[in-house]
Amino acid sequence: MAVEKFTVEASHIMMFARSVGDDNPIYYDEEHAKGTEPGSIIAPPTFAQASAQFDPNYGLRPKVGGDGWFGSGGKLSGAKPREGGGGGGGSGGGGGLHAEQRFIYHRHLKPGDVLSATTKPGKSWEKQGRRSGKLVFSETVTEYRDQNDELVITAIGVGVRTERPVDQG
Amino acid sequence: MALNASELNVGDTYTERLVEDLKRTQIVMYAGASGDYNPVHTDEVFTTKVAGYPSVFAHGMLTMGMTGKMLTNYVGDGRLAEYGVRFTSQVFPGDTLDATATVTAVADGVVELDVSTVNQEGVEVLKGSAKARVD
């Protein structure tokens, strides 16, 4: 994943906090936030994941005018699952799942921050799974930098590709 | 409110209910906010008939995000220094999740926590750790 420009906006923070069921007013009420230790609205801890919205090549978003999306429409599936996403930027491609995620906060994000992100591949390893056959894990390390080129968040993601869907039960 | 190191002991725990009877709509909200539109989270037809799962399921990152609410409520706004998890089991619509932080160390103004989220059957769906600044 490479993101050139991820502008952190208050309304996006509000929607993200709602989606994880967090009604802490520091995520939407500027007046309240002024009286808190951070002194302004900040983003919830996993907000950097929403950088996927700003990655032009993110594979898990239908593209305007692009080739077929793999979700259902008139048919059960629009296309074959495609590659993309990766462990750091989402929960993997069509057959991939998100196995691990870690964030290191050098400071917390706030509205007005303009981030860029670069991702490097990390380790890769294989394991035999009980419920889903051979598992191939791959790590990505994403560095988020702010408008002053300061490192603000380091995100380490691990994606896993399974041989077959995970057996239930 | 931040935590005070002098009042923390190894083994202390803090638990919160994250969600009761998880709705598909909340998963849709997370897809929209995060930008991860993988149909296995929102498209029941695709997920059951093509991907081979019993129903759509939550993004691991939704579980991590909900668990983050427990953590920030415990350690205070802007106090997290590190937060990492493994997704150990899938979360499905209808699940009820409880998350617990357990103090594993307190030193040099930092508390270290084990983090665990379990479903209504006691199955751990997320396992991780966190570090936060304390007073």
Q: Are B34 and A91 an interchain contact pair (Cβ–Cβ within 8 Å)?
A: no
Q: Are B52 and A103 an interchain contact pair (Cβ–Cβ within 8 Å)?
A: no
pLDDT per position as a tens digit, B23-64: 999 999 999 999 999 999 999 999 999 999 999 999 999 999
Q: If you measure CA to CA, which chain A residue comes closest to B18?
A: A21
Q: Are B53 and A165 an interchain contact pair (Cβ–Cβ within 8 Å)?
A: yes
Q: Are A98 and B33 an interchain contact pair (Cβ–Cβ within 8 Å)?
A: no
Candidate from B62, B65, B84 with C-beta closest to A102: B84
ipTM of the complex: 0.97
Query: How far does A152 lie from chain B, in Å, by closest CA?
Result: 11
Q: Are B66 and A20 an interchain contact pair (Cβ–Cβ within 8 Å)?
A: yes
A50 inside 8 A of chain B by CB: yes
**Residues whose CB is less than 8 angstroms from the CB of residue A115 and which lie 6 or more positions away in sequence, other chains included:** A3, A5, A6, A7, A8, A48, A51, A109, A144, A145, A146, A147, A152
Candidate from A21, A70, A71 with C-beta closest to B69: A21
Among residues A21, A19, A13, which one has the least CA distance to residue A42? A13
A145 inside 8 A of chain B by CB: no
Per-residue pLDDT of chain A (169 residues; tens, 9 = 90+): 689 999 999 999 999 999 999 999 999 999 999 999 999 999 999 999 999 999 998 989 998 876 678 999 999 988 755 444 333 333 333 457 899 999 999 999 999 999 999 999 999 999 988 887 889 999 999 999 999 999 999 999 999 988 777 777 6
Query: How far does A112 lie from chain B, in Å, by closest CA?
Result: 17
What is the rounded CA–CA span in Å between residue B11 and residue A49?
31
- Residue at token pair 């939704």: B62
**Residues whose CB is less than 8 angstroms from the CB of residue A118 and which lie 6 or more positions away in sequence, other chains included:** A2, A142, A143
Window 95-134 of A: residues touching B by CB (8 A cutoff) are: 97-105, 108
